[in-house]
Structure 1
Amino acid sequence: MKKVLVLLVAITMVITLFAVRPLGVNAAGFKDVGSDYWAKDQIDYLVSKGVIAGFPDGTFKPEDPVTREQFAKMICIAKKLSEYKPTTPTFKDVPQDRWSYGFIEAAVKAGYIKGYADGTFKPANSITRQELAVLGVRVLGKGAEAEAFKGEPIVWANDWKKIASWAAGAVTLAYRPDIQILTYHMKEGTVDPTMAATRAECAYAIYKIVVPPQAGGQVVIAQTQEPDALMSFATSMMAQRNIAMQYEDGLIMEFPNGTLAPRMALNVPNFKDGTWTTFKGPDGKTWMKTTYYLRKGVKWSDGVPVNYEQDIKFAVYDIYLSGKIEQIPSTDPYDKIDKIEFPNPYTMV
C-alpha cells in the first residue's frame, strides 16, 4: 500500500492561514473594525499593549497601507527597543531630524533592517507584503535560514512566480505553520507579494511575532457518519474525505471559498496559459489535455522522495484501473484517461 503524501515542509491544518480580508464591517470599538473582522483580535491585543493606536475619529483604517518607517516604529515598540540615535545616519535618506530616525536606527542595530543597495531606506514608501515577510523573519531570528533557501517559494498561491528571488525564502517561512506572519488573499488565491501591506496585515504579522503559534493541543471534530474505509480509493463516503483531508495531499487545493491553488503542482491548469486545452479526438468527440508542472522536493511521510511518474501511474493503473481491488466503488474519472505522459520528471500531461 502506498504511503501517505506529505510535503517536505510540514503542513498543519491551521485555520488562521486562510484568514480573509473582508469588506467593510462595523461594530463596537473601532467603528471600522467590526466584531467579525479577520484581524480584530490581533488589533485589539496590540492596541492594549500600546504597540499601535487608532485615529482621533474612532477609526483604525485597517485597509490603509503602512510605510516602511511606520512599520519600523511598530516593531521597535513591540520588541521593546528604545530609540537609538547615532551621530552618523545609516541611510542617506533618513537624516537625524526625521521623526522616525531613532526607530529605524534601533531596528538596524537589532539586525532587523538592511535597506537598499544604493544606501537608502525609502522610509515613506509603503512596505510590501514580501518586504514585510523579510523583515518579520529577521525579527524572529530566522534571516539566515531564509537567505539560505533555494528553489521555488513553498506557498499555495497562484501568483508565486511574482515573489522576488530575494524574498523567496522569507515568504516561504512567513507561511510556515510555526510562523504564520502572512495570510493568503483567498479571492484569487494569491500572496500579492508586491502589494502594500495594510495596517491590519502588519498588526497580524506583529502579533504572530510577539505571540507565536503554539505546537501541540487537540482538535476534536464531530461528524454524523463513521467511514466504512480509511483509504480514498475504497469508499465514496464524505465522512472519509473529511478525515483524509488531514493526512492526504494532492496536486491542487481548494480554499474554503472554492478558489483553487497549486499544492504539489506549481500550477492550476487553465485555458489562458495553454495548460488546459480541448480538441477533437480521433473518435470525433471533444478531448481534454491538461499539463501540470510538479513541485520538487516532495516526499512521502517516511521521507522517501516522490517519483511522480512511477507513483502516479501506480495509483491510476495498479490501484484504480487494475480490477484487482474489489472495494473500489468507482473508477471515475480515471477510466476516462487515455494516457499519462511525462516529458520530463517534473511535467505531467
Structure 2
Amino acid sequence: MEGTLLNKKVFTATLATSVIVGSSFALAPASASTISFTDVKEDYSHYTAITELAKAGVINGYADGTFKPANEITRGQVAAILANILELDVENVENPEFTDVPTTHNYYGAIAALKQAGFINGYADNTFKPGEALTRGEMASILTKAFNLQSLNEDTLPFNDIADEDEAYVKALYDNGVTVGTTANTFSPNQNVTRGQFSTFIYKATNVDSTDDSAFNLTIMHSNDTHARTDMAPKRATAVKEVRAENPDALLIDAGDVFSGTLYFNEFQGQADLELMNYMGYDIMTFGNHEFDLGSSPEGHQALADFVEGAKFSFVSSNINFSPDAKFKGLFNDLVSSDPENGKIYSGLVKEINGEKVGFFGLTTAETKDISSPGAIVFEDYLEEAEKAVKAFEDMGVDKIVAVTHIGFDDSAEVDNDQILAKSVDGIDVIVGGHSHTQLSEPVLVDTDENGAEKEPTIIVQAYQYSDYLGTLDVSFDENGVVVDFEGQLIGLGEVADDEGALEILKPYQDQITAVEQEEIGVTLEAPLETPRVSDEGNTEQLSVRKNETILGNLITDGMLAKAKNYTDKQVIMAFQNGGGIRAAINEGPITVAEVITVLPFGNTLALMDVTGAELKAAFEASVANYPDENGGFLHVAGAKVEFDSSKPAGERIISIQYDDGTGNYVELEDNKTYTVATNAFTAKGGDGFDMFAVAYNEGRVTDLGLSDWENLVEHLKSLEAIPSEVEGRIVDVSSK
C-alpha cells in the first residue's frame, strides 16, 4: 500500500503560495504553526504529506477543520494544485476548448495552463471531466510529465496489471520512490485516488532527489538515551546491518546516556552495552549526563574510564575538561585530531569519507553538574566551545561539520539546547542530539539565526529513547560544504528480528540479570502492599489505586521526593505519581527485585518540573475530575495535602492544596508563585492528559533526571525502619467526612 515519505527534504520555493482546491475549502490557509486537521492523526499513513503540503499552502482543509483524506480527489482539483506548485501562468493561457471547462469555470486557468504545458490531456469527446475522480493511471502520467521524472534503470516492473501505454509513466514513479503499488504485484491503474493518497504522491514527487551527482552524500545512523536497555541491542544490531548493506560507508553515532536505568547497568556498569556497541561497529560517541552518575561512588569514574578505554570507537567532547580527574589521564586529548584512536576522547575529530573530510565535535549539557555526579570534571560554555570547534575545523579546511550533542532538542533555554546552538553558531551542518528524549520522526531544518535572519541550513536529529528506534539521516552537501538536501527517518525496533551474533553476546549477561531479579532486596512485608481496583473481586469498599490514596502510592512518592531533594538546590515541595503507572501489588514476605519492577514496569525516570500554583491546582482538578470513577491520571502525592469536594462539578472540586514549607508547617499554594515539584517523566511530558505539564515541558521547564523509578522505590523501602500500615490522609474527599 502507499505510505508517507518518512523524511523531510528541503522544500522548494515553488511551494510558497496557496491554492484553493474546491469552493468548499477554507479560503485562508492556516499558518505553519497551527496546521492540524481533526480527521488526520499522527499515526495516519498520509499524515506527513498532508501536514507538510498544508503548511506550504499547497492544499487546504475544509471549513469545518477536516481534511477528508478518504474522499476521492477530482481532476480539476489536481490541476489547480499542480498549476500552483509549478508556478504556471493561469491568466495568459490558450483556451483548450474542452466543452465542459468554460472560461468561467473555477479551474479554467489551471486546466488550460497544464494543457498548454503538455502535462494533461482531455478525453476523445473533447471533454476534460474536471469533476470526475483521478485514477492512479492518470496520476502516473500527469506527475511523470509535470516533474520530468525518468526511469533510473532497465529493471522490469513488478506489477502485472500495467498497460503498455502506461508502463513508462509507472516505471518512472516506481524508480523514484513515488509509488510502491497497491500490492507487491499490482498497481491498480483504474483505482481512484483519494485526497490522502494524492497528498503523498505529490509530496514524494516534489521530494525526488535531484541532487547533482557531484555533491557529497553522508549517511548517519544515530542512537541516544538508550539507558542500559541492553536487551534491545540485538534488534538495533539487525537494523544497523540492514542500513550498512545498502550503504557500507554509513557512520554509527551515539549521543550519550548509555549509562543508568536498568539492572544491566547496575550489574555491569556499561560493559554489557560496550561489548554490543563494539559488535555493532559504532564510530563516534559523546557523553551524556548519566555517564557521570558513579562519580560519588567510592570508585569514582573508574567504570566510565574503563568504558572509554575498552571502546573500539572514539569519543568527542568539546566542552568537558576531564583533566582534573586522574582516571582519564592518557584518555583525554583537548585537541582536534585527524587521526583519532579508538578508546580516546577528543575535543573534535576528522573522518575522511569517500575522499571528503567531515568534522565531528561533542557537547554535553552543563546541567550535568547539578543532576549527576561529575566530581572534579569541569563543564565549559557550550556556545563558546562550539565556536572554537568550528573554527578549528575551518582552519583545517574542513567545511562539513557535525555536532554530536547531549544538550536536548528543546531543553532549558537558559542552560543549553540544540535549537539555540543551531541558530547561534555558524558552520554547523548537522546536530545529532540527545538528552531531551525527543522523538524527531523527521529531521528538523533550522535556516534562520537567533535574530531571524536567513542562514545556511543546520539539520537536527534525535531518536527518542531506550533503543526504541535507530535514527537514520542522509544529507547532501554542495561543493562549498553547504547542505543542499536531506532525508531521515526513525526505524522502529520493536518488531525487528534479533541479530543472532548480538544474542550470543547478550546471553551470559541476560542469564545473570534473570538471577538478580529473584534476589531479595532485604525488606520483608508483614502485610501486602496492595493496588486495589474497583473491578477486583472482594474489593467491597470500592477502593482503587486510580482514585484513592494507597500505602504503596505514598511509598513511591515519598521515595521520589527524597531522591529529588538530593539532586537540586531548589526547594522541591512535593512529588506525585499517576495511579495508572502503579501496576501491581507486592505480596507479604521478602520483597524481590522482580516484584518491585512489576510494580513500576514502564522504565519511567524521575523528573523535576517548575510549575505555578495555578498549574498544580489545574493538575489536581484533572486528577479528581472522574471521581468516584477511576482515572489513570489520579495523582498520589508526597509532601502535600490535597482536599477536594466530589459533590461539586468537575473542574471546581479542589478545596485546598497545602505543602510542607520545609519546617513541618503546611502552607497553601499560591496561584502566581512558581514551585519545583518531582514526578515521573511520563507525567511531566503531559501523559494522562495533563496538558498543563505538556506546556511546561515544551517551554523547557522540565528536567529529566533519568533516575529509574523502581530503583528509587527499592532505595526508599530499604531506608525505612518500618513499612507504614495505614494511609495518612494526604488526599481527602471532604464530602465523605
Higher strand share: 2
Normalised TM-score (structure 1): 0.50
Normalised TM-score (structure 2): 0.25
Q: Larger Cα Rg: Structure 1 or Structure 2?
A: 2
Relative contact order, CA 8 A, sep 6+: which one is greater?
Answer: 1
